[in-house]
Amino acid sequence: MSISTDHTRLQRQLYLLGYPQPLPSNATVLVSMLLKDMQAALGRVKELEAQSTQLERDDRTSRATMSKLKTEIHSLRTENNTLRSEVLNYTRELDQAGREQRTRVYETEKKVDDLRMAQLRMKAECAESQRLLDECQKKLAESVAMADPRGRIARITMSEPLELSSKHIELFEKKSTVDLVDLSSRRIHALEDEVSYLETKLEATGSELRAAQLEVKERDLELIRLNNELEQQVPTAADIPGSRLSDQVNYLHERAEQLERENKEMREQFTREKDELHKRWVQTENERAQLADNNNSYKHEASGDFERIREIVQRLRDSHPSTRPLADELQNELERLPRNSSNSLPNDADDGEMERLRTEHANIKSLYAQTRDQLQELLKSGNADLHRVREQSREAENKLRTDMEQSIAETNANAKELQNEIDLKDKQIKALEQQLKRQLKELDDSDRQHREERERLQKRVGKLVEFEVIAQQHDSTLRECQRLVEQHNKVDQSLREALREVSESRSKISRLEHKVSDLTRRLSDHKMLNKQNSNELKSCRKTLDAYKRDTETMQQARETAKRDTERLKAELNQLARLRDAVEMAKDEYKAQLAKSLKENEAHRGLAAHLMAERDALRAQVKAQFHLNQRLEQRLQVVEHRTGPLWQAPDSIVLNELPSLSADSGRRISGSSSAHSSRSFTRSDSNST
């Protein structure tokens, strides 16, 4: 029971001393011995006295110094806030100037791109007109070949090279766009990988930030508890580091909240940009898939066209020796067509676009380097100011510590001097008491002797004869008695004065003892408070060091996030410009599609007209076929009459040839005039 009582009492004492941790039962003896040693030390400390005035003066001085330091901290904080606001204003102005510059550059590039696209449209329109003209010629040739595959086909001379398929040209025209889309898709995939890496890094930073925030909250709670305990106690000079640390902790808390808000804003902006990039990527993928399908269809159609053309060329080459030059010419045109198409690719737009992107990338790099240098200079100046403030705070703390140590040393010296004076006065009072006791004892002895002598003299009066001698002796004795009485009165008066002084000294000593006990108690309380404050100061310093490390880590993470964000912003701007270019190309494709649809409608009408012409040409071909049959019959009749044609006389052949050439000339001239009239009508419709 006594062990549990001692354990409970020690636990309560430790809690009052500021140690809320539970006390193990096996450490009770050790803690009790430590408390006894502490009480013995406090008993030795009770020898210090008369320091209340000095402590009050030091307290006032400390409070004045604390108020001065608070005003300096307030002024420095206002200056820091002013500098921060100026930095933010400069950053906003820089961002505004960068946005305006980017807007102007984008508008200029847009105008240049519009001009380039207009030039490309004009080139495409010219190529389309030429393609349509050549396609009409090809269709006429195909219709003639299909009407009479084994017949003789007249060789038509052309001033322009024959282009037999527009699909192949469109395939080569779309190749640059397909390459650009592939490049954009690869770039988007790379950016998505980088975005995922940054997301993981951001999540790690967020977890570290949350852990730091939890530690900050726990330390804030601990600081609030310590602050409440300090407010309930007597204010001392140790309040200055506590207030300074509380101000620093408040500033760090505000800074952490600001960083959290900035992190939240950056995360929201990152999410928005990610969603926008995903939408653009999906749109680009759809367009790329559509372009790939179109490309495959164009390739399939082009390969079919080439196969049909090769079959036609082979049939022309195998049909008759006279058609071999035409087949060779068609083969040459067919081989020259891919080279011409590959040479006519619109690479100037891609080169201009790449050059523009490189220039913009260089401008963004220079702007980023300039902004980074400015921010580094501002950060260096802020670090220098912070270092100066820390140095001033450290100097003020050292000065305050030295002042406190000097005041404590002076108080200890004054207390020792006062104790020495009190001991000296006690010794003097004791010596005076002993002297008074000796004098009183001597007076009592002398009085007793005088009484005895007087009795003896009175007994001898009657015996002595000589009265004069007795009278003289009596007078001398009386004078001696009077002198002794006077001495006794003086000694009595001095004794009373000494007793009064002793009582006064004892009252003073009692008052001083009360004061000394009070001061000792207060000194012990101050010692305990100083010890607690020193422990709290150590913990606060450790906390501050941890805060500093966390702040440096967060600052590094923030700088890394800033660099990544700037790089992502540059990439996003580049992607935005690429998206604008893709959108412009898409609009152009839409316009071309609408134009192609309109032209398709016109082509349908033209196809109906050409079908009618084809029917007419078939009728003409049939007539030509019948004419050829009649000519063959006439040739057979001539051969029958005159023998083989190579054995017939030249006069007969010359007589028969004019009629044959006249008939074939009329047929060929009729087909040529019809073909020229249709070509003229087609060119008029295209120009309209």
Which has the closest alpha carbon to 537: 385, 400, 389, 391? 400
pLDDT at residue 258 in the model: 72
Q: Which residues contact 45 (CB under 8 A, 6 or more apart)?
A: 520, 523, 524, 527
Answer whether residue 261 shows pLDDT above 50. Answer: yes
3-state helix, strand, coil in the chain (%, to 5): 90, 0, 10
Query: What pLDDT score was predicted for residue 637?
Result: 79
Residues 6+ apart with CB under 8 A from 385: 76, 79, 80, 83
Percent of the chain with pLDDT over 90: 0
Percent of the chain scoring above 70 in pLDDT: 42
pLDDT tens track for 670-685: 544 444 444 434 444 4
466 or 161, which is more confident = 466
Bigger pLDDT: 668 vs 508: 508
pLDDT of residue 355: 64
More confident residue, 556 or 462: 556
Burial of 581 (0-12, 13-18, 19+ CB in 10 A): buried
Structure token pair of residue 625: 């076929």
pLDDT band at 32 (very low <50, low <70, confident <90, very high): confident
> What is the C-alpha separation between 300 and 296, in angstroms, rounded?
6
**Is residue 650 over pLDDT 50?**
no
Summarize pLDDT for 357-379 with one digit per residue, the tens: 566 556 655 655 665 665 567 66
pLDDT for 23 equals 74
Closest C-alpha among 589, 529, 505, 52 to residue 294: 589
Higher-confidence residue of 667 and 563: namely: 563
> What rounded mean pLDDT belongs to the chain?
67
Give me the pLDDT at residue 481, please: 62
Q: How many Å is the maximal CA-CA distance in the chain?
A: 239
Q: Residue 63, CB half-sphere, CA atoms under 13 Å: how many?
A: 8
Each residue of 551-602: pLDDT tens digit?
677 677 667 767 877 877 777 777 777 777 767 767 776 787 788 788 878 8
Q: Which residue has the higher pLDDT, 374 or 25?
A: 25
Distance between CA 664 and CA 627 in Å, rounded?
Answer: 9
Residue 75 pLDDT grade (very low, low, confident, very high; cuts 50, 70, 90): confident
- The pLDDT value given to residue 636: 78
Q: How far is CA 41 from the centre of its chain?
A: 56
Residue 383: what pLDDT?
62
pLDDT for the residue 660: 47
Look up residue 19 and give its DSSP letter: -
pLDDT at 458 over 70: no
The helix/strand/coil state of 121 is helix
Which of the residue ranges 369-383, 429-443, 482-496, 645-659 would you say has the lowest mean pLDDT?
Answer: 645-659
Which has the closest alpha carbon to 536: 248, 234, 214, 229? 229
pLDDT at 207: 74
Axis crossing angle, helix 28-45 with helix 2-16, rounded to the nearest 10: 50
> Span 256-276, mean pLDDT?
72
Asked if the model's pLDDT at residue 262 lies above 80, the reply is: no
pLDDT of residue 51: 65
Query: Position 419: which residue type?
Result: Q
**pLDDT tens digits for 76-116?**
878 877 777 787 788 788 878 878 887 888 788 778 777 87
pLDDT tens digits, residue range 38-64? Answer: 777 677 767 666 566 677 777 788 788
Q: What is the pLDDT of residues 397-436, one digit of tens each?
A: 667 667 666 766 676 676 667 667 667 766 766 676 676 6
Using 50, 70 and 90 to split pLDDT, how confident is the model at 152?
very low
Nearest CA to 129 among 667, 523, 618, 602?
602
Is the pLDDT reported for residue 668 higher than 50?
no
- Long-range contacts of the stretch 248-256 (C-beta < 8 A, 24+): 248/544, 248/547, 249/219, 249/220, 249/223, 249/540, 249/543, 249/544, 249/547, 251/77, 252/216, 252/547, 252/551, 253/216, 253/220, 255/551, 256/212, 256/213, 256/216, 256/554
Q: For 154-209, how does the pLDDT look when each residue is reduced to its tens digit (9 = 90+)?
A: 444 444 444 444 444 444 444 444 455 565 566 666 666 767 777 777 777 777 77
Domain ranges of the chain: 2-45, 65-411+531-687
Compute the distance between CA of residue 216 and CA of residue 263 in angstroms, rounded to an integer: 17
pLDDT score at 467:
54
Contact 305, 162 (CB under 8 A): no
